[in-house]
A = this chain, B = another copy of it.
Amino acid sequence: MKQTKPKYRQIIDAAVEVIAENGYHSSQVSKIAKRAGVADGTIYLYFKNKEDILVSLFQEKMGVFIERIESATTSRQTPSEKLRVLVETHFEQLSEDHHLAVVTQLELRQSNKMLRMKINSVLKKYLDVIDEIVEEGIREEVFRDNINRKLVRQLIFGTIDEVVTNWVMKEERYDITKQAKEVHEMIVEGLLRRP
């Protein structure tokens, strides 16, 4: 069956697979091309260079990833509920895409400083979502107002990231989505304003 997906997406999907399976350093352009079913040279019609594949990959995948989290946290929810949904959706998405989980948690981190800067700018949008929920929680007097917003964001993201990384390194042998509730409670526990 001939691939009919636009080549750009075809290549990105191939890259995720190849990197997840072979690791970042064993993922030659030619291997990605082969998996995508295109010639080596075709890669360069759609991407500036190898690094551009990785940046684009991250942008595409994280774009969808973050959008889903944004649309899952609707206006009717309380800030705490939003955080719960954020954790849940984060875990679910990685749970459903094994390759993506490996790539984002392990492989893409071994890229050079330049690439990681670009990756961070993509992550910025995710951090903004967290910031907004936290801000809302404080405004609505659900969260304590004596917290350092930036540190709280780092706690939330750092915790989620560490939990996911541990899960991936344990070769995803347990169901991470079942931890969402606990992780959420643990995080919120420290944020709630006491009467």
Q: Which of A9-17, A30-38, A40-48, A157-165 contacts B (4 or more CB under 8 A)?
A: A157-165
Q: Give CA–CA (A161, B157) in the complex, Å.
A: 11
- Determine how many copies of this chain the complex contains: 4
Q: Which residue of B lies closest to A115 (CB)?
A: B110
Contact between A182 and B106 (Cβ–Cβ < 8 Å)?
Answer: no
Question: Looking at the complex, which one of B179, B188, B190, B194 makes contact with A187 (CB distance below 8 Å)?
Answer: B190
**Across-interface contacts of A182 in B (CB, < 8 A):** 148, 151
A155 CB-CB contact with B under 8 Å? yes
Which residues of A43-66 have CB atoms within 8 Å of chain B's CB atoms? none
**Across-interface contacts of A186 in B (CB, < 8 A):** 147-148, 151-152, 155, 190
Question: Interface residues of A: mostly helix, strand, loop or mixed?
Answer: helix
A77 CB-CB contact with B under 8 Å? no
A120 CB-CB contact with B under 8 Å? yes
Question: Looking at the complex, which one of B112, B151, B160, B162 makes contact with A161 (CB distance below 8 Å)?
Answer: B162
Q: Give CA–CA (A19, B142) in the complex, Å.
A: 45
**Across-interface contacts of A191 in B (CB, < 8 A):** 189-190
Q: Give CA–CA (A190, B187) in the complex, Å.
A: 7
Given A147-B186, A158-B163, A162-B158, verify A109-B112 contact (CB < 8 Å). no
Q: Give CA–CA (A23, B114) in the complex, Å.
A: 10
Q: Give CA–CA (A163, B151) in the complex, Å.
A: 7
Contact between B106 and A116 (Cβ–Cβ < 8 Å)?
Answer: yes
Which residues of A131-153 have CB atoms within 8 Å of chain B's CB atoms? 144, 147-148, 151-152
| 9 A-B contact pairs sorted by A residue (CB < 8 Å) | A23-B113, A106-B113, A148-B186, A151-B183, A154-B166, A155-B158, A155-B187, A159-B159, A190-B191
Residues of A within 8 A of B (CB): 23-25, 106-107, 109-113, 116-117, 120, 144, 147-148, 151-152, 154-155, 157-163, 166, 169, 179, 182-183, 186-191, 194
